[in-house]
Amino acid sequence: MLFSVREFEALARDRLPRYAYDFIAGGADDEVTVRANERAFARLRLLPRVLRGHAQRDLCTTLFGNEVTMPVVLSPTAFHRLADPQGEQATARAAAKAGTVMIASMASTVSIGDIAKAGGADLVLWFQAYIQSDIGITRTLIRRAEDAGCRALVVTVDSPVFGWRERDNRNGFHDLPPGMHCENMRDLTADGGVRDIEMVPGLSWDHIDRVVAMTDLPIVLKGVLHPADALTAVEHGVSGLFVSNHGGRQLDTVVAAIDAVADVAAAVDVPVLVDGGVRRGTDVVKALALGARAVGIGRPVLWGLAARGEEGVTEVLELLRAETDRAFAFCGCASVDHVARDLVREVRC
């Protein structure tokens, strides 16, 4: 029996080959932001309310019309088959069972259609896309997601180029092992092969306009940190924002995601999600207090998957659910609407 996300990381580290553990755990450059994401939560302290008389708590919330049983969703992460042979299929089953959203990465090692099938009717599935320079390819990828029944499109905008990942360089990890592919990119080359995913340095608001025009799905921009960009995004027809620094894997020394969320939430009227460094139920409460509708978890899902496959993902999600419920109880909150800004104070260390 494991009692925390931290313990899942330790077990995953024992079980994974070095290159895979490093790929998941690591970040860009000096990994300042990887560490900052978690440390920023520790600098935020709770100021709980007592005697509110809530014998029961309800963690449910709604995200773009999708009901979820807790304000914790699965952030998009690439290559789940590095962690477990069933990969994204195992993750999808665990997300469906937990009653929360799985955001499938465009760089998944199982196709979006097969992820949807594995999750079944109970899974709320969203698709994360990197806009490609060929707009036709981008359109095909979005159609595939729509055909699979995805209910929102998460467009990642913090990756005009790929982050400098020194652990991966040292380990020589540049390609997936034999037999693993980015399955969504199949049949997208002239000869029907698997196309490489590009990072597009010229990405601009014009691309967002084209994607907004190309689908009826709600669009969430992921990787926005500046409130002025959040405002511009809404003007361009985006339905939500995902405050994120990509888990510290792209631009290093960026602000911790949790430190950016309050200003973004204050700038816009649309739902705001945040990910980066969420490891405890108290982190979930802090994010909601600062204005987030829900949080995402990236690495914790992969630690669960690497430690114990589908069951491990379920355990990680249920640990976070129980911790969040306990934190609600301690703070005097019966539901997500009760999590007020004054529950959080910032301290120096």
CA angle at 293 for the pair 309 and 141, rounded to the nearest 5° = 60
Minimum CB–partner distance for residue 163 and ligand 7N5 (Å): 7
Residue 156 marked in a binding site: yes
197: partner contacted, choices ligand FMN, ligand 7N5, none (Cβ within 5-8 A by kind): ligand 7N5
Looking at residue 312, its amino acid is G
Let me know if 246 is a catalytic residue.
yes
Options 49-57, 161-169, 240-248, 325-333: segment touching ligand FMN (CB under 6 A): 240-248
Buried b (16+ CB within 10 A) or exposed e, 194-225: ebebebbeebeeebbeebbebbebbbbbbbbb
Radius of gyration of the chain (CA): 19
- Does 78 contact ligand 7N5 by CB under 6 A? yes
Catalytic residue among 54, 174, 246, 338: 246
What's the rounded Cα separation, in Å, for the pair 119 and 96? Answer: 6
Among positions 97-116, residues that touch ligand 7N5 (CB under 6 A) are: 107
The SS3 assignment for 23 reads helix
Distance CA 301, CA 307 (A): 10
Known binding residue 325? Answer is: no
33 versus 192: smaller Cβ distance to ligand FMN: 33
Residue 20 touches ligand 7N5, criterion: CB under 6 A: no
Question: Between 16 and 35, how does the x/- string for binding to ligand FMN read (CB under 6 A)?
Answer: -------xx-----------
**Which residues are within 8 A (CB) of 207 and not within 5 positions of it... i.e. 6 or more apart?**
131, 200
249 binds ligand 7N5 (CB under 6 A): yes
| Residue 246 binds ligand 7N5 (CB under 6 A) | yes
User: Which of helix, strand or coil describes residue 197?
Assistant: coil
Q: Which residues bind ligand 7N5 (CB under 6 A)?
A: 78, 107, 197, 246, 249
Binding region: 76-78, 105, 128, 130, 156, 165, 222, 244, 246, 249, 275-279, 298-299
